[in-house]
Amino acid sequence: MISAREVLHSVAAGEDPDTERVADHLAPRRTFSAPDWSLSQAAEAMSKGGFQHIVVVDRSGIADILSMRDLMRSLVRSPTDQ
């Protein structure tokens, strides 16, 4: 998995994003969850591990990727959502 954080670190280091290979900038740590985890479980795993994303896997493989931003949006609703 690569995120904006890894891309920004590369650019900040003066590397050319047009020539750098994704494989050289993958997130160093990642974690996985089952689709039936609660949002609280996912948030706790991400918080404890210092992750911004969690890979959701099921029997078929990768089902989705959940971000901390996704979690925040689901927990904090705008006044127009009420």
Rounded to 10 degrees, the C-alpha dihedral 75/78/80/81 comes to -10
Residue from 5, 39, 2 nearest 21 by CA:
2
Q: Give Dmax (Cα) for the chain.
A: 46
- Is the model's pTM score more than 0.75? no
CATH architecture, domain defined by 31-82: Roll (3.10)
State the pLDDT at residue 53.
86
Delimiting residues of CATH 3.10.580.10 domain(s) in the chain: 31-82
At 18-71, the pLDDT tens digits run 999 998 887 767 788 999 999 899 999 988 888 888 899 999 999 999 988 888
